[in-house]
Structure 1
Amino acid sequence: MPVPRNAVDGGPHAAPRRFVFVLLPDFTLLSFAAALEALRIANRMAGAPVYDWLLTGDGGGMMRCSAGTEFRLDSDLPELTRDDVVLICGGINVAGATTKRLMNWLRREARRGLMMGGLCTASWTLAQAGLLDGKRATIHWENQDSFEEEFPEVTLTKSVFVVDGNRLSTAGGTASIDLMLKLIADDHGEEVANAVADQLIYSAIRTDQDTQRLSTPTRIGVRHPKLAQVIKMMEANIEEPISPALLAKEVGMSTRQLERLFRRYLTRSPKRYYMELRLQKARNLLMQTDMSVINVALACGFASPSHFSKCYRAHYQTTPYRERGSQAGKDLKSED
């Protein structure tokens, strides 16, 4: 049986496995801290320094998280070794935080065959660098719509984390713990990983088969199976909406019965609920991508920009163009 990397069974220890954390501006503190703490505790549970880490970022110096706390980086983007694991820590406005210099560095280091991962929104950075092409990945649920539009060559999942070869990704938040526990178990066995989980008071370890959000019917408390089925069909057909009559037929009921179910459980008509789903996706695309307003409209099932603008204004009390402008203003403020 092969000896695990950095064996902790009393034999001679290999050099600690180093994790290189690349902090992006406005990175999410929880995702970063959860990953780092898992490594620290693993060293304690193993009784030896089996892991080491380095904090880096484009330009070095200090890096501020989205909560406003600043961290002193150990270095600018360094030259790495093949055994290093790179974890990019993303947060809000990940597109603006991803510099050309960073992407060039990632591409260069990736040619060494390093394991690389993105925490929270940082899968976007890896994908933008072309390092997720043909791979499975995940990203925070709020960024899924825009990611799918930007990177069709990546197979996006709704899992809490994904390991595909030497590429890692998490959905953010406590998903970092789940990923790190898997890596620790791979390196040192389930016993060490479980000991780390116990220290973190983490009693429900998730796998890459677990999804990051409750299903919409579960989240809104819908227990009617046919209504839940209709909602899933709506979510899967945003670009080409299906008529309420056809939705009802697909689940074996009349249009009137479907109307009554929506009124009873969701206090709105099927048409209204479907419209809200489409507008919610449209808002995500406006806020998180550079897609033109007309392309956003088409991606969300609106045949004309004028109809899209009218519906958007009625729901959000602003136009798609002003929404896009307000986001640009926020981005400029964040750079000041």
Structure 2
Amino acid sequence: MFVLLNEFTLLSFSAAIEPLRIANRMSGQTLYTWSVLSESGESVACSNGTLVHVNGGLGDVGRDDVILVCGGLGVRGNTTQSVKAWLRKVARKGSVIGGLCTGAHTLAAAGLLDSRRATIYWENRDGFLEEFTETDLTKSVFVIDGNRLTAAGGTASIDLVLTLIADDHGKDLANSVADQLIYTTIRTDRDIQRLSIPTRIGVRHPRLSRVIERMEQSIEEPVSPAELAEEVGMSTRQLERLFRRYLNRSPKRYYMELRLARARNLLMQTDLSVINVALACGFASPSHFSKCYRAQYGTTPYRERGAHGMDDELGAEPTDEDTDSLDDLE
């Protein structure tokens, strides 16, 4: 059964359902049947606006049914109390329950991923880590932990479902389905979601990649350029030249942009106060955080949160209206 949340991601849903259809066709048997549900029993609009008809609302399920929650945009708001209560009821039967794309957030909010390994779409990782500390969140394409399944989104649903098909009916059928999908490599739960750092930045330089990896791992407690340079065996001036040459910015500027990107994710995906977001991203001063944020995104964190319908509870927005550049605020 597929449970479609409002604003679900169509690709993750179709990437899960199509392998099942093809498995039936390739085997000449009805190996899999499915139904599509929504909280209200009414059609659901996915994140691209397409309206998807469903078979019904949330009702009774059999013990052997597999439930896959399809998430997408605005998953916090679309994870309602009734959806969580229904999932807990289903879980008490021992059913297999999974989350596709941001569906892992819904499972975690229902308490179904406590002390479990899981994965979620990489853009939602920061918020998930702050909110659900009882879950062992990985960067894998998909995770199967007992009767809990999670897939990171996009084409990761294909990998998860092909693995399930291989477990149920053998690798030959799974490979035949992959061929039909023109899917040349079936990823495993050991494969990670994002491109490597050299591929992402378009530069293959080992020491530069190591520095950026260190930066990404040290957002809450930033490391000084001198320490970063020492770790890769170069001087601070050499590190500066390396960043200027390949990324056209200073190491401090690049680091600041990473921290602010993390902050933006937390502002839009969690209910952490702006002050706590600032602390989680290495800013000791809320006013300094606000200045840096405005220099990068053209708005303050308080206004950013307000634009997404989330009011901050701790303190008013700083009144300082300086227009410092991001370089000045490093």
Equivalent position of 1:334 in the other structure: none
Alpha-carbon distance in 2 for matches of 1:227, 1:58: 48
SS at match of 1:124: helix
Alpha-carbon distance in 1 for matches of 2:48, 2:258: 30
Q: Let me know the Cα RMSD of the aligned residues.
A: 1.0
User: Is 2:150 aligned against 1:175?
Assistant: no
Picking from 23, 28, 37, the partner of 2:18 is 37
User: Is 2:113 aligned against 1:132?
Assistant: yes
Equivalent position of 1:92 in the other structure: 73
Unaligned runs of 5+ in 1: 1-19, 330-336
SS at match of 2:35: strand
Picking from 122, 142, 146, the partner of 1:141 is 122
Give the aligned residue type for 1:229.
R
Give the aligned residue type for 2:270.
T
Alpha-carbon distance in 1 for matches of 2:173, 2:198: 37
| TM-score, normalisation: structure 2 | 0.92
Cα drift, residue 50 of structure 1:
0.9
Alpha-carbon distance in 1 for matches of 2:304, 2:44: 29
Equivalent position of 1:188 in the other structure: 169
Equivalent position of 1:111 in the other structure: 92
User: Is 2:272 aligned against 1:291?
Assistant: yes
SS at match of 1:207: coil
User: Is 2:254 aligned against 1:273?
Assistant: yes
Alpha-carbon distance in 1 for matches of 2:21, 2:92: 29
SS at match of 1:168: strand
Equivalent position of 2:205 in the other structure: 224
Cα drift, residue 153 of structure 1:
1.1
Equivalent position of 1:314 in the other structure: 295
Equivalent position of 1:8 in the other structure: none
Give the aligned residue type for 2:80.
T
SS at match of 2:34: strand
- Given that residues 217 and 231 in structure 1 are in contact (C-alpha distance below 8 angstroms), is that contact kept between their aligned partners in structure 2? no
Unaligned runs of 5+ in 2: 311-330
Equivalent position of 1:7 in the other structure: none
Cα drift, residue 209 of structure 1:
1.1
Q: Which string of whole-angstrom CA distances, capped at 9 and with x for unpartnered residues, describes residues 229-262 of structure 1?
A: 1111100000000000011111111111111111
| TM-score, normalisation: structure 1 | 0.91
Which has the larger displacement, 57-66 or 240-249? Answer: 57-66
Cα drift, residue 216 of structure 1:
2.6
Alpha-carbon distance in 2 for matches of 1:222, 1:302: 29
Q: Which consecutive aligned stretches of 4+ in structure 1 deviate over 3 angstroms post-superposition?
A: none
Identity %: 69
Figure out how many residues of one structure are paired with residues of the other and give that number. 310
SS at match of 1:328: coil
SS at match of 1:53: coil
User: Is 2:3 aligned against 1:25?
Assistant: no
Picking from 19, 29, 50, the partner of 1:69 is 50
Picking from 221, 236, 242, the partner of 2:223 is 242
Q: Which string of whole-angstrom CA distances, capped at 9 and with x for unpartnered residues, describes residues 237-296 of structure 1?
A: 000000000111111111111111111111111111100000000001111111100000
Alpha-carbon distance in 1 for matches of 2:146, 2:214: 32
